[in-house]
Chain A
């Protein structure tokens, strides 16, 4: 589960080279290859009445992206890294999935979606769609200007939110594999208030104690590979408590396993990973459960 190759998906407005630079300490782990992906959305070059397909606009957009990537690539090549580029016309999520399959990437990095509430409701967010379809971890990067925090190295002090699902336990292994990159990890389990409805104070303490004990075991696993780890139990709404824990721990990144809810349920009721990825001020890494990639499409 090392990160050897990452796919850096950008439309330039939300993710710049500065964001990528903050991830380059992953080289202290296994990172050696960065693949830039720019997807020119079809409707930007689609047929218009009287003008047909806008080939000139496509060429202009491709060239603009290419010039930007050349500059970034020179920088990385000169550091001894391997670099690849995809500039394609199409729909964002299928093209990113296709590129990650072709490249056999270990991580997808993407900026937060900028769609409005209504657009989200009717067409959904690209980021959420990507989280649903990706079989490799996705890092939803939050640009510094969008947040009040300054994250120099997102993988330095992650907060790992654990709900005991297979994907959150997989996230534990994923972070463990980043020894040399991660300095300290905070583990949090949020006990939902609805699970405690009507419970007596002693029952609450018992639940907290059980969760702590389980987290302590995971902490020991981190300490064994040389990563400092501390456990925390919070009570309340998971979406809110994870954000509070991130602030309390001065974290640089929130890590969660992806939701096991169906796409339909997620669309209407939401899920914690989805909400944290979209709404948190912190960069958010979502780790999916183990599954095979879809058959490669050309």
Chain B
């Protein structure tokens, strides 16, 4: 059975790009255009993988990632962060939230900084599949 992957990104061009690469690599793609609808879809569809943007309307990838990794039923879903901000800034933002009293969470499996080539994303998908 093909694995399900959800692309959460507000940029339609990036959604198209990610969907094309996912299809080519044997995934069934799903899409959401902001953090809130992304979380709803994750809960409803329980995808095997989430490709997550960071800067989005409604809820950022920083908070959505945290929500995923602190929710028992969702924390094993693999995540590729495909964000605009530097990985260093993403990790610092998570650290800041931890300092404000939130739980500690693991680093994302893979962090890719936009823009990426299709081969880079395909390589990341391969790594995730193991």
Of B23-31, B87-95, B119-127, which stretch is located at the interface? B87-95
**Which chain A residues numbered 215 to 243 have a C-beta less than 8 Å away from chain B?**
none
Q: Given contacts A70-B85, A73-B85, A74-B86, is CB(A83)–CB(B60) below 8 Å?
A: yes
- Which chain A residues border B89 with CB–CB below 8 Å? 74, 77-78
User: In the complex, how many residues of chain B place their beta carbon closer than 8 angstroms to a beta carbon of chain A?
Assistant: 21
**Which chain B residues numbered 45 to 82 have a C-beta less than 8 Å away from chain A?**
54-60, 62-63
Cβ contact within 8 Å between A82 and B55: no
A102 to B56 alpha-carbon distance, docked (Å): 12
Q: Verify if A25 is at the interface (C-beta below 8 Å from B).
A: no
A44 to B60 alpha-carbon distance, docked (Å): 29
A-B CB contacts (within 8 Å), total count:
55
- Which chain B residues border A79 with CB–CB below 8 Å? 96
Cβ contact within 8 Å between A78 and B56: no
The residue that B58 contacts in the complex, of A73, A74, A77, A102, with Cβ under 8 A, is A102
A74 to B86 alpha-carbon distance, docked (Å): 8
CB distance from B42 to the nearest CB of A (A): 18
A80 to B60 alpha-carbon distance, docked (Å): 12
Binding site for A on B (CB under 8 A): 10, 54-60, 62-63, 84-86, 89-90, 92-93, 96-97, 99-100
A-B CB contact pairs (8 Å), 13 listed = A66-B84, A70-B55, A73-B55, A73-B84, A73-B85, A77-B62, A77-B93, A78-B92, A78-B93, A80-B96, A83-B55, A85-B55, A102-B57
